Structure 1
């Protein structure tokens, strides 16, 4: 593994994932002196993204939209317009975010090249960093469950509420998808690869299951840091410990590629979480230090908890502080910490 590239250069940090966790980390990293690349999942088939994907066969734009906003330097009012979601009474546009429609339009204007469309939009939005779709075609998520059954589609997989044995992705034509060379180059040249926070089977693994992405993450000399979820998720990680999360990642890539894991050890207050508002969230992920060390990874445990709106989130500032500290240290640094 390589050491940090020197105090006079910005550390190159590649963040891979999707969902609501990715923008939290990116927003924090944007305030630091880091060279950021976001590799964003394109396997979402729900909500506005799913409808747009089905109608015009474009990469689902929702996660890309949120990442662009997180890294954008445009005035706040423009961000609010870009993020605005039409009300349900607007029957034709109901549920669609303006940004999703803009991304779909730019893709069509550029010969259905979503990668080029996102690069042009990133310029318009004065994005500080790079935003790369994990693949240039919509991905279909496939799962095999422990009972031997199979399902396709992110929404269907999580709704089944079965124990997931493994997942894989296919292109919309059934072929094996591949990431653009720019994605692989960013991973190979990085000082640090950050996975998460995000849904294990539907936000993180779909990216790593793209063959050349998974291979690059295993072969890069960058330190691979996994930000473990604080809570378990219905239909995905029920009863999981933090070690179970890492074990699933390593098993899918058939390699112990996770170098460092950030885990929250602060207790979530009983009865704080609004389970109706956050209906996919179950219980707090259990801490298993011994199991984590059995996966040959460095463990950094701390209070990364943020409570707001009766929900449980990562404290973005504390997570980013730890990431920047890691990015500035040689890999030989011993960083195990205990509460």
Structure 2
């Protein structure tokens, strides 16, 4: 039996509204033919014409026209009521719990689909925070995520199952989910105790199972994206099992992201094993179509730079016409950026990217409360100082703004940050002169 016939089964309360729509359509056709005097319904029209004569005492075509208008309006009203009731009934059958919100959701998705194509590169909590804000501005959102993590649950799964690190990918999937429900909470659930599962998150295990089932991370992420109904795409920067290698200021060479971050000396340079990992094709395509490319926020050396150490990705960013914006962290990170200013962050990135890649730097200028400063100071972390002169000398335009929320502490507020980025995006794509653009961008930071 055809699928559409099943919609006519008793009890669905659909046939009555289909019948009303059909009657309305026939009434509209009849009224229209009377207006145009097509004589399609000759006998009926003649009877109506005679009735009009008996009522008015003369042969008036005006009466026939008026009756045709009446029938046309009545037909349109019946059709509108029929369609409205049909749509409501379909929604009630398909989405019984959310039928009052469906129209808002549909309109919201249409609006998000019109948003700019934004590509964000990074990893860790900084990237997932950014994605939570941006997903409410556009659904044309792509997260390109580092897979060099070798600590905790991700590190254990890498070694035991011979797969790329799933942790940062999981965080981005959850952050971009259409709505963070029980399913998303389960993805973040972490097992306790002392058994083999201790320390593992359910989401990491789920992704690891999908990677093994589908044979490659890309298909696994596509399946997970459908489960979570994410807005946009999550793509690994590479599917190779890369490991970070850090050259330290004391001459040591340290291997592994977690070891590099914990090492007491400063980081001088980074490389990967294997050298020149191959980029994922979808990541290159996303950069090619991007309206804006964002680096950070997040750990400078262990979350942002690993993506730039994939040669094809870096080359794609260089060749892109989209503006590239670096979002500087609010606080310095002990072991990675101790004592760094905004300019120092940019200088470290430029050693990898070269000139002409990062055109804009977004930094927080809002003071951190004394209580929170003291808490961070005990861990060796301090607010990043703004040095506009150095940033401009390095060839980038500095944009400062209040990026902290009431409850965000010393990290960016996701909604405020997303709002500032969209304002910058709109200005960068406006048809205005370079001087006017800089004036408007300076206005954002006032």
| Aligned mates of 2:144, 2:239 — CA distance in 1 | 12
Note the alpha carbon deviations across 1:198-248, whole angstroms, 9 max, x for none: 000000000011111111112211110111001111110010000110111
Which structure has the higher relative contact order (CA within 8 Å, separation 6+)?
Answer: 1
Of 175-184 and 91-100, the range deviating more from structure 2: 175-184
| Aligned mates of 1:102, 1:181 — CA distance in 2 | 24
| Aligned mates of 2:406, 2:154 — CA distance in 1 | 28
TM-score w.r.t. length of structure 1:
0.91
The residue matched to 1:132 in structure 2 has which SS? strand
2:336 counterpart of 1:336:
no
2:422 counterpart of 1:324:
yes
2:223 counterpart of 1:120:
yes
What pairs with 1:1-339 in structure 2 (closer than 5 Å)? 9-73=114-178, 76-87=181-192, 89-111=193-215, 113-170=216-273, 174-273=274-373, 275=375, 282-306=381-405, 308=407, 311-330=409-428, 332=434, 333-334=437-438, 335-337=441-443, 338=445
Give ranges in structure 2 of 5+ residues lacking alignment: 1-111
* Structure possessing the higher radius of gyration over alpha carbons: 2
Give ranges in structure 1 of 5+ residues lacking alignment: 1-6
Residues 225, 261 of structure 1: 8 Å contact kept: yes
Structure richer in helix, relative to its length? 2
Residues 256, 295 of structure 1: 8 Å contact kept: no
Residues 177, 231 of structure 2: 8 Å contact kept: yes
Residues 178, 210 of structure 1: 8 Å contact kept: yes
Deviation at 1:90, TM superposition (A): 4.7
| Aligned mates of 2:406, 2:361 — CA distance in 1 | 21
CA RMSD of aligned residues (A): 2.1
The residue that corresponds to 1:4 in the other structure is none
Structure richer in strand, relative to its length? 1
* Aligned residue pair count: 326
| Aligned mates of 2:345, 2:320 — CA distance in 1 | 21
Residues 242, 292 of structure 1: 8 Å contact kept: yes
Note the alpha carbon deviations across 1:127-173, whole angstroms, 9 max, x for none: 11011011112210111123332111111111112111111222xxx
TM-score w.r.t. length of structure 2:
0.69
